[in-house]
Structure 1
C-alpha cells in the first residue's frame, strides 16, 4: 500500500474529510501519515472552501489504534533514527490539531489508543459511537501516555487521568463521554448523515457554534457510566504522592477496583510507572506547548533505554506477555534517574 493510500483527503462541500486508511492495521499511524496530515491541515487552514475538518478511520473496528509500533521497534533496536523523526513529527501534528483555527471533528468509531488519541482528543469536537474503546496503554510497553496525554489526562475529573495513564484501563462509550474524552454519543449508523449535514451546512457565523448545533441534532444520551461509581475510589487511591503509595493504598482494600488496579500496576515497567506519575503531576500546571516539549524530551530518553523495546517485544513481537523490566522494581528506580528524562535536550527541542 502506498503512502497516498494510507490516508485519504477530500473536500466535500464545506468540510475537509480525512480518512485514516489502514483498516487491516487498525488504522495505526505511520510517519508518512503524520507528515501528510500535518501538511494538509496547514493547507486547509487557509482554504476558504473548508469551514471544518472531519477525521475518521476506515472500517468498523478502529478509529486509530496507535502508532506503527513494529516499525518503531525494529528501527529503534537497530539504532536507526526513525523513532526520533516519527515522534517529533507526530507531536508537531498533535500541536497543530490543538491549535487548529477551524472546527476539527473526530468521529471516534471503534478503538482509539495512543497515536489515535493524539489525532482526536485535541480537536474541538469528539464523537463516540457504540463501538468506541479508549485506552492509553503505553506504560505496559515501557513508554508513557504521550501524544499530549501530559496535558489532557491531568485535566480530566479528579484523579481519573492518573488512573488511566498508570493502569492503561479501557473506557467504553458511556465512560468515554463521562470522562470528556468524547463530547457526545452518536450511533455509528448515523455517521454518514452527520458528514452529509456538515458538508451541506452553510457556514456563516461562529463555525464552532454551528458545528455544535449540527451535531446536537444527532447526539443521543448514553447509558449510565460505570466509571462514575468508581470515581470516588479512584480519587482516593490515585491522589497519593507516589506510585508506591498508590499501590499500597490499593492493596489496603479488597474491592474489585483496588485489586484489579494494583495487579495491573505491578505488571508494568517500574520506570514507566514513576515517569508517568511525574509527567502527569507536572503537566497539570503546564500549557499545551510546554507539555509537548516535555514529552519530546522524555521520549528521546525512552528511545535510548531498554524497557520500550522489551515491553514491545513481550506485547507485540513475541507476544509472550512476560517482559523483563530493567530496573525490575520500583525501589530500584531512583528519583534522580527519572529527573534525567525531563532535562533539556542537547541536540534541540521540539520547537
Structure 2
C-alpha cells in the first residue's frame, strides 16, 4: 500500500507529496503524523533550505478526514478524535513557525484542513484553476485549522467581518479572490515544471513564473460585508439586506444554524488573539461542537450519503459556545 504522504529530499529541498487521490487527499491521522515528523526533522537541518508541499491528483486537499472522525464518534471514541484534531492544529502551528520557506503548490481545491496545511506557509502558489473554501458549517462543525485567526488578518483586507463572512458562508474564493485577499501569495500560469524549478533555484523561481492575477469578485462587496458582519450571528442576520442578504441566504441554505452562531462567537473571541491562542480556542470549541449531533449528521449528509439533507438541531444559544472560549 502506498504511503499517503511521500517524503523525499531533492538536493536541499524537503518535498511532501500528498498521495491519497481517491479521498481527495483528505488528511488522515497518519498523514498529519508524517508531515509533522518531517517538519520536525527539517526545521534545524542545515542541509534543508526549503520545503515544498504538493499533491498527486487534480485537487490539493479537501480537508481533514472527517469521515474517520465521524466513525470514531459513532463508536464512542471521542478521545481519539480529540487527539486527531489537536495533532492537526499543532501541525498548523509548526507550519506557521517554520523558519525556512514553506511552499505550497495549491492545485484545484484547498478546503478546510487543506488550507491548514498550506495557508500558514510563506509561499502559497495557485493557478487560475485553484479555489479555496472553509465549508465546515455544512457538516455541522466550526471553522478551524487556524483560519479563525488567518481569515481575520488577510493582508489584502484585514477584517473580522470578512473572516466571519468567509467562515459562516463557506464562500468559495476563486483564484482572483485568493490573490486579492492575500490568501495566496503568487499566481502562475501552470505548475508544469515549477516543482523542479523551485528545487533548482529556490523561491526566486516562483517570482519569475508569477503572472498578474485576473479580476476578483470579493472586493466588490468588502464594504457591505464590513458593515453587516459585526457582532453575534443574530445581529448579523438583522443587518443583512439587498444582494448580500440574498447571497448569504443562498450560501447558508444547508448550514448548521448552531455552527453559524458558534462561528461568530469564535471570530469575536479570536479577534485580538495570536495564532496559537486562536488554535487553543478552536480546540476548546471543537470539543464542544463534536459532541453535538450536528457534526455526525452533517458529515453523513454531505460526505457519507451525499444526500445534502442534513436535519440539523435548532439554533443554539451563543452562551453555550462563549463558555468554551477564552
- Structure with max Cα Rg: 1
Q: Which of these residues, 215, 222, 226, is aligned with residue 224 of structure 1?
A: 215
SS at match of 2:38: helix
| Counterpart for residue 310 of structure 1 | 297
Question: 1:266 & 1:171 partners in 2: Cα distance?
Answer: 18
User: Size of the alignment, in residue pairs?
Assistant: 321
**SS of the residue 1:63 aligns to:** coil
1:162 aligns with 2:169: no
Partner of residue 185, structure 1: 187
* Residues 305-332 of structure 1: CA deviation (Å, up to 9, x unaligned): 2111111111112222222222x13xxx
Structural RMSD (CA): 1.6
CA drift at 1:266? 5.0
Give per-residue Cα distances to partners, 1:215-234, cap 9 Å, x unaligned: 21000011111112122222
Name 1:176's counterpart in structure 2: 178
> Contact between 2:140 and 2:294, CA under 8 Å: does it hold in 1?
yes
Contact 2:254/2:308 (8 A) holds in 1:
no
Alignment match of 2:114 (pick from 113, 116, 125): 116
After TM superposition, the score normalised by the length of structure 2 is 0.94
Indicate whether 1:62 and 2:37 are aligned: no
Pairs within 5 Å for 1:22-41? 22-41=20-39
Aligned to 2:90: 92
Looking at structure 2, the residues matched to 186 and 66 of structure 1 have their Cα atoms a distance apart, in angstroms, of 23
CA distance in 2, matches of 1:340, 1:319: 33
* Aligned residue runs from structure 1 range 127-142, under 5 A: 127-142=125-140
Structure 2 distance, partners of 1:76, 1:298, is 16
1:196 offset after TM fit, Å? 2.0
**8 Å contact 1:247–1:262 — kept in the other structure?**
no
Q: Which SS does the other structure have where 1:49 is aligned?
A: coil
Deviation at 1:192, TM superposition (A): 4.3
SS of corresponding position for 1:299: helix
Match of 2:232 among 238, 242, 247: 242
Contact 2:265 2:318 in 1 (8 A): no
Q: Distance in 2 between matches of 1:155 and 1:98?
A: 14
Structure 2: unaligned runs, 5 residues or longer? none
Instruction: Note if 1:215 corresponds to 2:213.
Output: no
Instruction: Say whether the 8 Å CA contact 1:14–1:198 is kept in structure 2.
Output: no
Distance 2:101 2:15 in 1: 12
| Candidates 313, 321, 324, aligned match of 1:338 | 321
Runs of 4+ in 1 over 4 A off after TM superposition: none
In 2, the alpha carbon distance for the partners of 1:232 and 1:187 equals: 31
Shift of 1:50: 1.0
- Which of these residues, 31, 50, 75, is aligned with residue 78 of structure 1? 75
Counterpart of 1:272 in structure 2 is: 259
In 1, distance between residues paired with 2:219 and 2:290? 36
After TM superposition, the score normalised by the length of structure 1 is 0.87
Contact 2:123 2:185 in 1 (8 A): yes
Counterpart of 1:205 in structure 2 is: none
